[in-house]
Structure 1
Amino acid sequence: MPRCIPIKEIKNTTEFARIVEESPEPVIVTRNGREAFAAMSIELLDAMRMERARAELYRLLDEAEEASRDGRVVDARDSIKRTRDRYGL
Structure 2
Amino acid sequence: MPVCVPVKDLRDTSAFIDLIERTPEPIIVTKNGYDQFVAIRSADYDELQRSAAKSRVLERMLVSERERSEGRTVDAKGLIGDLRSRYGL
TM-score where L is the length of structure 1: 0.85
Shift of 1:29: 0.3
- Alignment pair present for 1:25 and 2:25: yes
Shift of 1:82: 3.4
Residues in 2 aligned to 1:88 and 1:46: alpha-carbon distance in whole angstroms:
46
Percent sequence identity is 36
Residues in 2 aligned to 1:2 and 1:88: alpha-carbon distance in whole angstroms:
62
**CA shift in 2, pair 1:41/1:88, >3 Å:** farther
**1:19-48: per-residue Cα shift (whole Å, max 9, x none)?**
112322221001111111111111011011
Please say if residues 6 and 29 of structure 1, whose CA atoms lie closer than 8 Å, have aligned partners that are also in contact: yes
Gaps of 5+ in 1: none
Q: What is the aligned-residue RMSD (CA, Å)? A: 1.8
- Alignment pair present for 1:13 and 2:13: yes
Residues in 2 aligned to 1:41 and 1:85: alpha-carbon distance in whole angstroms:
54
Residues in 2 aligned to 1:31 and 1:88: alpha-carbon distance in whole angstroms:
63
Residues in 1 aligned to 2:87 and 2:23: alpha-carbon distance in whole angstroms:
52
Please say if residues 25 and 44 of structure 1, whose CA atoms lie closer than 8 Å, have aligned partners that are also in contact: no
Please say if residues 29 and 36 of structure 1, whose CA atoms lie closer than 8 Å, have aligned partners that are also in contact: yes
TM-score where L is the length of structure 2: 0.85
Residues in 1 aligned to 2:79 and 2:24: alpha-carbon distance in whole angstroms:
47
Shift of 1:88: 6.1
Q: Which runs of at least 4 in structure 1 moved beyond 4 Å after TM superposition?
A: 83-89
